[in-house]
């Protein structure tokens, strides 16, 4: 817009009515008019008008958390002079969902006249201007952002979206609460205090972060400060939507995913602390910088998130020509994430392994749409790009001889690995690899989800294609031994994994692990 919007008497009257919930309409005077007939749900109404400053909401899939919170804070920003709001999510892509939702809701609606400027790079933000507020700003950041970037602002309100992903979120809340302070100078020479509202919203994930549910429970001991809500999917979705979800979501997860019930997260084979220790958020941060913050995205970087599955594609540049060593692993599939039998492809940088941790540089959770063609295309792409020292493919059952009959036709030399022989041994190898933190990957919802819910006894029922790829990688990586240990003990067969995490500075000797390696 060329100049800020000038409020009319009608605007001022709507603002006054929107601030008073006594008539049962309250904020919906604002939402209904400025967002073209939309209204906040009952729980969203009480959320907006809550007198408490510490808000928490755990909701089922599609229960309206992200959009509802976004519209609520957009209304505050439009009616409060100098309002500053920050939405923070585990990844920049998740945080941007609220940014895009607000712009989509405002498109061709009266609220659009309040939007003075918006931008996606280097990070999303919306600036509102009119003669009543001067200027308000809404920021949309990621938890992977540098602390200095978040700490450098003073805020009225902050919202942590999908906070259930953060196993330890207390550090982020501590950082954000310190930003909710001070006063704002207004045009009339007076000052107003900051709102000081901190909210957390999330769907359920496989593990219930202790800090989150402790925060939820504080509503009972400190009701004057804390408000907690558990929202069902049916509060925002149609019966047809719910039935569609149930076709895919396992029945034993309906209460957790659709009703907001606290998850238990068995972690039967992979402990949550070990799994999260392998999640390297700096890799997410690098992807965010190269793809979202630079004016021109850096070539060879890729990241894609889809609703319900999370990240389905992560890709870093290949440095094969610079001497980096890669391992390619694939589990063919024809279905779509997050369902069972969706193809999975990993490329690990194994240069100097285990002195250096194996690093996931390429992840593809393939949408097969009923055919293996997309998997083959992605596998061949990774093979050509990373030029791996070794390539592995699951050749169990119906996928038997894939390496000979399918991949060789495309000029790909891959070793087939069959789970029917020693699945337990492969699982133990994967457990040891993770326990010793000899591997790292970016935070990817599907990896955490499958590892924490995997049960060997139910392997033929659960989505486990990501676990299968990890098992193959771990079993293969057994062939790397410490030279001094190998010379001293000279075992008939290689030991399962290196005995100590802090011994990576010794020289490595690759040894055969009895695999078919071309």
- pTM metric for this prediction: 0.72
For the cut 70, the answer to whether the pLDDT of residue 402 exceeds it is: no
For the cut 70, the answer to whether the pLDDT of residue 264 exceeds it is: no
Q: Are 334 and 343 in contact (CB under 8 A)?
A: yes
What confidence score (pLDDT) does residue 260 get? 62
CA 348 from centre of chain: 20
160: tokens are 């942590």
Q: Are 358 and 307 in contact (CB under 8 A)?
A: no
For the cut 70, the answer to whether the pLDDT of residue 27 exceeds it is: yes
Query: 478-491 burial string, b = 16+ CB within 10 Å, else e?
Result: bbbbbeebbeeeee
Q: How far is CA 241 from CA 202, 288, 309, 310, 363, in A?
A: 19, 32, 17, 19, 30
Residue pLDDT, tens place only, 443-465: 998 999 899 888 887 777 677 89
Give the residue with greater pLDDT, 481 vs 500.
Answer: 481
**Spatial distance between the Cα atoms of 307 and 310, rounded to a whole number of angstroms:** 6
Average pLDDT, the chain: 83
Half-sphere exposure of 453 (CA within 13 A, CB side): 21
**Spatial distance between the Cα atoms of 396 and 233, rounded to a whole number of angstroms:** 38
What confidence score (pLDDT) does residue 165 get? 84
Segment 266-295 shows an average pLDDT of 86
Please report where in the chains the tokens 């061709």 appear, as a residue. Answer: 108
**Spatial distance between the Cα atoms of 85 and 141, rounded to a whole number of angstroms:** 11
Segment 432-437 shows an average pLDDT of 90
- Model confidence at 171, in pLDDT bands (50, 70, 90)? confident
Residue pLDDT, tens place only, 324-372: 999 999 999 999 998 888 999 999 999 999 889 999 999 999 999 999 9
Domains, the chain, ranges and CATH? 11-259 (3.40.50.300), 272-510 (3.30.420.240)
């Amino acid at each position: 817009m060329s100049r800020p919007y000038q409020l009319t008497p009608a605007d001022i009257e709507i603002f006054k009515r929107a601030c008073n919930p006594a008539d049962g309409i309250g904020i919906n005077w604002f939402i209904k008019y400025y967002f073209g007939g939309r209204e906040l749900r009952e729980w969203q109404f009480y959320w907006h008008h809550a007198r408490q400053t510490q808000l928490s909401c755990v909701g089922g899939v599609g229960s309206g958390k992200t959009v509802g919170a976004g519209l609520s804070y957009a209304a505050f920003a439009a009616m409060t002079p100098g309002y500053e709001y920050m939405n923070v999510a585990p990844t920049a892509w998740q945080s941007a969902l609220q940014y895009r939702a607000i712009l989509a809701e405002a498109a061709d609606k009266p609220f659009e006249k309040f939007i003075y400027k918006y931008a996606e790079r280097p990070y999303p933000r919306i600036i509102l201007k009119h003669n009543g507020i001067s200027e308000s700003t809404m920021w949309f950041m990621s938890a992977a952002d540098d602390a200095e970037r978040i700490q450098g602002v003073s805020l009225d309100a902050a919202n942590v979206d999908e906070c259930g992903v953060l196993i330890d979120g207390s550090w982020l809340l501590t950082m954000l609460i310190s930003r909710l302070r001070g006063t704002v100078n207004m045009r009339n020479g007076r000052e107003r205090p900051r709102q000081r509202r901190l909210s957390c919203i999330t769907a359920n994930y496989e593990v219930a972060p202790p800090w989150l549910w402790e925060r939820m429970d504080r509503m009972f001991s400190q009701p004057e400060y804390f408000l907690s809500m558990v929202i069902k999917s049916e509060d925002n979705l149609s019966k047809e939507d719910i039935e569609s979800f149930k076709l895919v979501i396992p029945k034993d997860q309906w209460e957790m995913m659709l009703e907001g019930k606290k998850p238990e997260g068995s972690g039967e084979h992979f402990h949550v602390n070990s799994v999260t220790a392998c999640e390297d958020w700096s890799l997410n941060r690098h992807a965010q910088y190269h793809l979202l913050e630079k004016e021109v995205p850096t070539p060879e970087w890729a990241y894609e998130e889809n609703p319900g599955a999370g990240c389905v594609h992560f890709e870093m540049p290949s440095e094969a020509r610079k001497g980096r060593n890669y391992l390619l692993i694939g589990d063919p599939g024809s279905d779509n994430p997050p369902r069972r039998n969706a193809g999975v492809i990993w490329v690990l940088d194994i240069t100097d392994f285990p002195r250096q941790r194996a690093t996931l540089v390429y992840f593809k959770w393939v949408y097969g749409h009923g055919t293996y063609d997309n998997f083959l295309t992605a596998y061949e792409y990774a093979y050509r790009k990373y030029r791996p020292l070794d390539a592995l493919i699951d050749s169990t059952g119906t996928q038997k001889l894939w390496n000979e009959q399918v991949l060789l036709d495309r000029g790909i030399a891959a070793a087939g690995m069959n789970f029917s022989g020693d699945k337990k041994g492969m699982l133990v190898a994967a457990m040891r690899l993770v326990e010793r933190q000899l591997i790292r990957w970016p935070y990817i919802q599907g990896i955490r989800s499958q590892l924490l819910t995997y049960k060997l006894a139910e392997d033929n029922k659960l989505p486990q294609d990501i676990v299968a790829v990890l098992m193959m990688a771990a079993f293969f990586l057994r062939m790397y031994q410490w030279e001094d240990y190998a010379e001293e003990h000279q075992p008939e067969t290689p030991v399962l994994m290196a005995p100590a995490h802090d011994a990576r500075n010794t020289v490595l000797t690759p040894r055969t692990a009895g695999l078919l390696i071309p």
